[in-house]
Amino acid sequence: MPAAQPPASAADRRRLARRLPPLREADARAIQRFIDAAWAEHGLARLSQDAYRRDLEQLARWRDGAGGGLEGADRASLFDYLAWRHAQGYQPRSNARLRASLRGFYAHLVRLGVRTDDPAVLLDPPRLPRPLPKALTESQVDMLLAAPDVETPEGLRDRAMLELMYAAGLRVSELVNLPANAVNLRQGVVRVTGKGARERLVPLGEESQDWLERYLEQARPRLAGTRPVAADAAGNVPLFLTPARSAPTRQAFWQTIKRQAAAAGIDPGTISPHGLRHSFATHLLNRGADLRALQLLLGHASLSTTQIYTLVAREHLQRLHARHHPRG
């Protein structure tokens, strides 16, 4: 069993994870059956599938076949594993996601009759802070959107992506994976496939629509070249293209946001990967948008997820009151 000496950084934890034993075939089969069932029964999104797989594979490798491997783990061994992760410096949010992975996996085994008990049912979730989304001010958003060099195909693409992300409140993964047929410029809407494969229609807004038209007319043909752009397994062609004629990755677009923020004179450290999405939600609420409507626009399954933005709007109103009220 690896030593419980806490590594100094997340990179050290990744190196430690790589030094765990290789995944056993029986554990790999059990994980794949669970992932397949979660996708078929609940429409588990691809990113969630990948996260669950990583969580379960690391536990399986940590156990290295002990006590029947992953399927045979008891409650004590799960507590031992959580204690080991805590000693390695894993954050509460990461451990909370792990608990969700474990509860889903072992509930699946109980349904199949592989087990009669669920060792994960009494695992207490770690207490998580309730962080407020970091939103840009409206003037900062204006500077960020104006930062790309629209005289180049890549710059015009970046401007269109930033405008669309802010106008429609898209997640980064939703933005980079948009197919070309998702945008209807005549009706001024974009069809977005979000978490759990749920679809929603979101208005584009005049500015976003204008920049998308310019991108499609001027930049995309130059990025696509003369050969047809390859479609994905579902037959969709990406809307936004790199010079390699493929969709940008989430990581690449996040680097683009940081680069454009620096060019606009905004500290890149103040922008989160979902910064424009958070700004979209906060600015709508500040201007009187209805919370239920915002929930539909953001694609949240639960209204409680959307309500965190009311805290951001409340802080903004309190600052305005303190600044301008005679007795503030």
Calculate the CA 245 to chain-centre distance: 24
Can you read off the two tokens belonging to residue 197? 């494969």
Q: Of residues 61, 274, 278, 283, which has the active-site annotation?
A: 274
Active site residue 24: no
Q: Of residues 61, 63, 283, 300, which has the active-site annotation?
A: 300
Q: Of residues 61, 159, 171, 278, which has the active-site annotation?
A: 171
Q: Of residues 63, 157, 277, 278, which has the active-site annotation?
A: 277
Active site residue 316: no
Q: Name 183's bridge partners.
A: 190
36 contact partners, CB below 8 Å, separation of at least 6: none
Active site residue 300: yes
Q: Of residues 52, 106, 166, 309, which has the active-site annotation?
A: 309
> Which amino acid, one-letter code, is at 250?
R
Q: Of residues 24, 195, 222, 259, which has the active-site annotation?
A: 195
Active site residue 195: yes
Active site residue 108: no
Query: Annotated active-site positions, please?
Result: 171, 195, 274, 277, 300, 309
